Amino acid sequence: MPGALYVVATPIGNLDDITLRAIRTLKEVAVIACEDTRRTGLLLARYEIKSRLISYYEPREGRRIPQLMALLKEGRDVALVSDAGTPAISDPGFKLVREAVREGIRVVPIPGPSALAAALSAGGLPTHRFLFAGFPPPKAEALRKSLSALAEQDGTLIFYLPGRKLASFLAAVMETLGDRDVVIARELTKIHEEFVRGKASALAIVAESREYKGEMTVLVAGKAK
């Protein structure tokens, strides 16, 4: 019988944010495919998990997929984790999951943290409808285009953003979507966790005078009805 591919969510900062099922699964699988063996190694050390690590990151996906598929077909269970949060969400994983599905391998989600859910759940903008836009394009023109394409969406828009891009991102939001409510959710679950809420114009002024460091998820209100 083939093994199963477990897609395991891991903490986005606070190492306590891991489920009992995730720990048990990581202990029981033959192999854990991870982005960075050193980073995942810290998590494994904390929970005394001794399973073998194999690196699985974007440029290597093509080479790793046949190796992992061979293990699964031999009957070994494999876990997929990323550096933080839920694998395959703005992280490597989709191609392996797609291949496993194609080959009739059982794919089992082990749900847990994801920055988008954490930011949305505590951000204070409407949650009944939302659109996860991932990382916006880095170049100004492409950014404006992609934001313009979202202008009619009435659900909350969710972006992953490097802190240094905040000022130019907010300027593009004002230009393409108007002066909407924005929530900056940074360093979630970590010591310096912070939510900064306000109109895009007000936050743009703050962003000019203050350097935002660390990990950041940004919510932008959808189009008013």
> Does 186 engage in binding with ligand SAM (CB under 6 A)?
yes
Taking CB under 6 A as the criterion, the residue among 124, 131, 187, 199 binding ligand SAM is 187
Alpha helices per DSSP H over the chain: 20-28, 37-46, 61-73, 94-102, 115-123, 140-148, 166-177, 200-209
* Residue list 152-181, contact with ligand SAM (CB under 6 A): 160-161
**Cβ–Cβ under 8 Å, residues 23 and 125:** no
Site mask for ligand SAM (CB under 6 A), range 93-122, x = bound: ---------------------xxx------
User: How many chain residues bind ligand SAM (CB under 6 A)?
Assistant: 23
Positions in 202-221 near ligand SAM (CB under 6 A): 215-217
- 42 to 81, contacts with ligand SAM by CB under 6 A? none
Give the residue among 206, 151, 154, 145 at the shortest CA–CA distance from 178: 151
| Cα angle value 114/125/175 (rounded, 5°) | 100
CA distance 175 to 171: 6
Q: Write out the residues near ligand SAM by the rule CB under 6 A.
A: 12-13, 82, 84-86, 89-91, 114-116, 160-161, 185-190, 215-217
